């Protein structure tokens, strides 16, 4: 079994590639830029260059597709986002069907749901994507389904909720490393509204374990939420972070942002049926490990 991992130099990619390797799975890693933190064979590829993508996919039994142009860039440059996230994904899919790949495991985003009508959010919740990034994720999910129906290429879609953990840098603008950075700087953190909006935080080590299982098991042609099913408010996260860091946080309450989603928590019923479990690391422990990683890095 050989698995090609695209987006291997990113936050999730480093965690997933290293976990697959640790599980004894042969891995070939790929990205547009190389990371010194990967231990497996690395083959550079730009998703927009079919020949480069094909070179990585050829000889692999399975593909883990984690490469993406991120959400904030998509708002500035929707066309660039569509090229990398849709056309780039199609390059991977075409190479996969050309070379008899068994399954593509794709990292989608729960944000494709857009406006939340009910909680917890299951996979059947209507989707009204609100950003070009989310449109591209939704489109890719449908391309995967259509490629399965037309060409028999199998897939598994994980819809990520809020992933955090080692290798996620504050520069990414992600909430958890931002909270760490701000609390360390001056002990304060800005929240919008009353900070009572809940989100579903998944420790990346748990996510990586689900990838190992998804590679090893005969699970296919499903779209499944990758969340914990437990909501934590932004205010609570800042407070827990403060406890871990020994800082009494000053929370600054800013006016609510228009269109801000109130609560957004995963229904993990399908995940539990398919895998027999859900991500288990408690936020307290996951944050402690994440902060230790930031400090030691």
Ligand X SMILES: NC(=O)c1ccc[n+]([C@@H]2O[C@H](COP(=O)([O-])OP(=O)(O)OC[C@H]3O[C@@H](n4cnc5c(N)ncnc54)[C@H](O)[C@@H]3O)[C@@H](O)[C@H]2O)c1
Which part of the chain contacts ligand X (CB under 6 A), choosing from 3-11, 19-27, 217-225, 258-266? 3-11
User: Which secondary-structure segment (H or E) carries 14?
Assistant: helix 11-22
Instruction: Render the burial of 92-118: b for 16+ CB within 10 Å, e for the rest.
Output: bbbbbbeeebbbbbbbbbbbbbbebee
Which part of the chain contacts ligand X (CB under 6 A), choosing from 9-17, 115-123, 148-156, 262-270? 9-17
Among 20, 31, 114, 123, binds ligand X (CB under 6 A): 31
Between CA 85 and CA 144 the distance in angstroms is: 13
| Gap between the terminal Cα atoms of the chain | 32
| 67 lies in the site for ligand X, by CB under 6 A | yes
| 70 lies in the site for ligand X, by CB under 6 A | yes
Which part of the chain contacts ligand X (CB under 6 A), choosing from 68-76, 141-149, 192-200, 266-274? 68-76
Contact 70/94 with Cβ under 8 angstroms?
no
Among 25, 27, 84, 234, binds ligand X (CB under 6 A): 84
Q: Which of 133, 138, 180, 203 is catalytic?
A: 133
Among 40, 109, 121, 156, binds ligand X (CB under 6 A): 109
Concerning whether 211 is annotated as a catalytic residue, the answer is no
Size of the site for ligand X (CB under 6 A): 24
Contact 226/185 with Cβ under 8 angstroms?
no
Q: Which is nearer to ligand X, 139 or 247 (CB)?
A: 139
Q: Which is nearer to ligand X, 80 or 251 (CB)?
A: 80
Q: Token pair of 253, please?
A: 């309450």
Contact 205/23 with Cβ under 8 angstroms?
no
- Window 159 to 188, contacts with ligand X (CB under 6 A): 160, 162-163
Catalytic residues: 133
- Where on the chain is the footprint of ligand X (CB under 6 A)? 7, 9-13, 31-33, 46-48, 66-70, 84, 88, 107, 109, 160, 162-163
């Amino acid at each position: 079994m050989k698995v090609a991992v695209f987006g291997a130099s990113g936050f999730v990619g480093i965690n997933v590639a290293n976990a697959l390797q640790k599980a004894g799975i042969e891995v070939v890693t790929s990205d547009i830029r190389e990371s010194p933190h990967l231990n497996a064979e690395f083959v550079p590829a730009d998703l927009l260059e079919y020949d480069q993508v094909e070179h990585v996919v050829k000889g692999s039994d399975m593909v883990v597709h984690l490469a993406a142009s991120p959400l904030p860039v998509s708002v500035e440059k929707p066309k660039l986002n569509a090229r990398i996230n849709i056309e780039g994904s199609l390059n991977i899919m075409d190479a996969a069907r050309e070379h008899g790949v068994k399954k593509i495991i794709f990292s989608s985003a729960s944000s494709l749901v857009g406006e939340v009508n009910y909680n917890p959010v299951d996979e059947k919740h209507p989707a009204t994507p609100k950003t070009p990034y989310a449109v591209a994720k939704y489109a890719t999910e449908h391309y995967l389904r259509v490629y399965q129906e037309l060409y028999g290429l199998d897939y598994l879609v994980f819809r990520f909720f809020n992933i955090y953990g080692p290798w996620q840098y504050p520069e990414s603008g992600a909430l958890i490393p931002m909270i760490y950075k701000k609390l360390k700087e001056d002990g304060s953190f800005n929240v919008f509204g009353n900070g009572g909006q809940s989100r579903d935080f998944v420790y990346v080590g748990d996510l990586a374990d689900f990838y190992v299982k998804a590679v090893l098991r005969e699970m296919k042609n499903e779209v499944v939420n990758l969340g914990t099913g437990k909501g934590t408010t932004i205010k609570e996260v800042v407070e827990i972070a403060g406890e871990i860091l020994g800082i009494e946080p000053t929370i600054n309450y800013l006016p609510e942002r228009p269109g801000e989603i109130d609560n957004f928590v995963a229904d993990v019923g399908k995940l539990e049926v398919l895998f027999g479990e859900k991500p288990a690391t408690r936020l307290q422990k996951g944050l402690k490990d994440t902060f230790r990683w930031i400090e030691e890095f």
